[in-house]
């Protein structure tokens, strides 16, 4: 059974209206400013004020970032070919 102390605190972040995603109100009562991107696109996972796991608009921006990353992923055949080239090159190096 999970105790209360083992549960992850969630801090809900909300983008301030009209701030172009640069100002975020935190669930713990603070405001955070980002020069570029969203907390998700900057790899933020936890609140820098209370240590809670980020939630709210932040979670939505992470999903959008994941979708962007998926769109850029290479195909299995491209990955397989790159792996084969790397293995061949490593064998050449070992042989001297």
Q: In angstroms, how far apart are the furthest CA atoms of the chain?
A: 62
Residue 26 forms part of a structural domain: yes
Domains in the chain, number: 1
Residue 1 forms part of a structural domain: no
Q: Which residue has the higher pLDDT, 25 or 64?
A: 25
Q: Which residue has the higher pLDDT, 6 or 44?
A: 44
- The whole-number pLDDT of residue 3 equals 46
Nearest to 64 by CA among 25, 46, 27, 37: 37
Model confidence over 43-80: pLDDT tens digits? 888 899 999 988 887 565 665 555 555 655 666 777 77
Residue 14 forms part of a structural domain: yes
Residue 2 forms part of a structural domain: no
Q: Which domain holds residue 73?
A: 7-95
- The whole-number pLDDT of residue 26 equals 92
Q: Phi first, then psi: give them for residue 13, nearest 5 degrees.
A: -105, 140
């Amino acid at each position: 059974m999970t105790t209360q102390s083992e549960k992850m605190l969630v801090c809900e972040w909300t983008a301030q209206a009209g701030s172009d995603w640069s100002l975020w109100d935190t669930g713990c009562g603070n405001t955070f400013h980002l020069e570029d991107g969203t907390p998700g696109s900057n790899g933020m996972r936890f609140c820098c004020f209370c240590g809670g796991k980020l939630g709210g608009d932040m979670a939505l921006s992470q999903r959008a970032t994941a979708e962007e990353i998926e769109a850029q992923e290479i195909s299995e055949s491209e990955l397989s070919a790159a792996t084969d080239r790397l293995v061949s090159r490593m064998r050449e190096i070992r042989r001297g």
